[in-house]
Amino acid sequence: MKVRITEYLEVDLESQKWCCQRCGHELVDARQNYKKGCLVAEKPLEEVYPPKPEGQAYGFIPDPDFCRLIEFYCPGCGVMIENEYLPPGHPLTHEIELDIDSLIERYGRA
């Protein structure tokens, strides 16, 4: 049985793995950070934000010395699972930690 956690993430309770909701690709053990099983890319901020208007002192683009955009993709189908803004050198966040044993107790094994 698979339990949907986010738009593109689900947990397979039988294998206890994070899976891509779109293609079913198994990412990593569900007791770990799902991001460890993703393809990771740092996107240049200039590709996301419009350039600073000519003659203006400020624009909307974050300062790349203080901010980076990290994207996480499914290795199976390439869908973007998540993205996050982090200061340079900051470790990837671990924002979802599941109690797998409670999920299995609640939903049962497949």
Handedness of CA 85, 91, 92, 94 (dihedral sign): negative
Tens digit of each residue's pLDDT (9 = 90 or more) over 49-98:
888 888 888 888 888 899 999 999 999 999 999 999 999 999 999 999 99
Provide the pLDDT confidence category of residue 107 given band limits of 50, 70 and 90.
confident
pLDDT at 109: 57
pTM, two decimals, is 0.88
pLDDT band at 19 (very low <50, low <70, confident <90, very high): very high
Positions of E strands within the chain? 2-4, 9-12, 17-20, 26-29, 39-43, 68-73, 80-86
